[in-house]
């Protein structure tokens, strides 16, 4: 039973490492062992395959869980037009903050920003609350931050 628990914990640790660092832990372990350390890794081939597939899938994702500020929510025959109007007004005022129009039947929503932390979203909420009084923070799937060249 202890061996099974040790294998389970080791597999969990390896998957966390791969997810957190987006690297191949097996290659890293081989490199460390060449530097003078000794690493013995015992695992099923299927486990290695699953971990590699998980790592590759994470690399292909276009975003992550995060936060946005919702500034509009509406339904009806003019909801799309109103959502686009509010989005355009927002983008004209706050050029550095992304704005997204979403449709979740039967509602149109305008959400702004791509924040990794709630505190980042709160800073923007405080700034825009003067104009968008009903704005509030929501959890959402956000785009990865753009890398500067």
CATH number for 103: 3.30.70.1070
Q: What is the pLDDT of residue 46?
A: 85
Q: Which two tokens stand for residue 2?
A: 């202890």
Q: What is the pLDDT of residue 3?
A: 56
Q: What is the pLDDT of residue 32?
A: 64
73 and 114 assigned to the same domain = yes
Residue 138 belongs to what H/E stretch?
Answer: strand 136-143
10 and 27 assigned to the same domain = yes
Q: What is the pLDDT of residue 111?
A: 94
Chain position carrying tokens 């597999």: 11
Please report whether residue 148 resides in a domain. no
Strand order, beta sheet including 136-143: 99-104, 107-115, 63-75, 136-143
67 and 139 assigned to the same domain = yes
Q: Which two tokens stand for residue 97?
A: 């903050």
In three-state secondary structure terms, 148 is coil
139 and 67 assigned to the same domain = yes
Strand-pair partners of 54? none
Q: What is the pLDDT of residue 56?
A: 78
27 and 95 assigned to the same domain = no
Q: What is the pLDDT of residue 50?
A: 85
Regions in the chain scoring below 50 on pLDDT: 16-22
In three-state secondary structure terms, 85 is helix
| Separation between Cα atoms, residue 55 and residue 77, nearest integer Å | 44
pTM of the model: 0.60
């Amino acid at each position: 039973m202890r061996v099974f628990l040790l294998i389970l914990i080791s597999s969990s640790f390896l998957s966390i490492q791969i997810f957190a660092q987006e690297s191949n832990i097996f290659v890293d372990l081989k490199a460390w062992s060449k530097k003078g350390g000794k690493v013995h890794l015992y695992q099923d081939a299927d486990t290695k395959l699953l971990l590699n597939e998980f790592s590759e899938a994470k690399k292909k994702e276009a975003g992550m869980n995060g936060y946005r500020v919702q500034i509009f929510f509406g339904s009806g025959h003019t909801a799309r037009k109103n959502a686009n109007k509010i989005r355009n007004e927002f983008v004209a005022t706050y050029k550095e903050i992304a704005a997204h129009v979403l449709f979740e039947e039967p509602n149109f929503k305008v959400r702004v920003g791509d924040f990794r932390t709630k505190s980042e979203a709160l800073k923007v909420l405080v700034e825009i609350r003067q104009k968008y009084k009903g704005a509030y923070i929501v959890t959402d799937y956000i785009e990865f931050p753009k890398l500067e060249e």
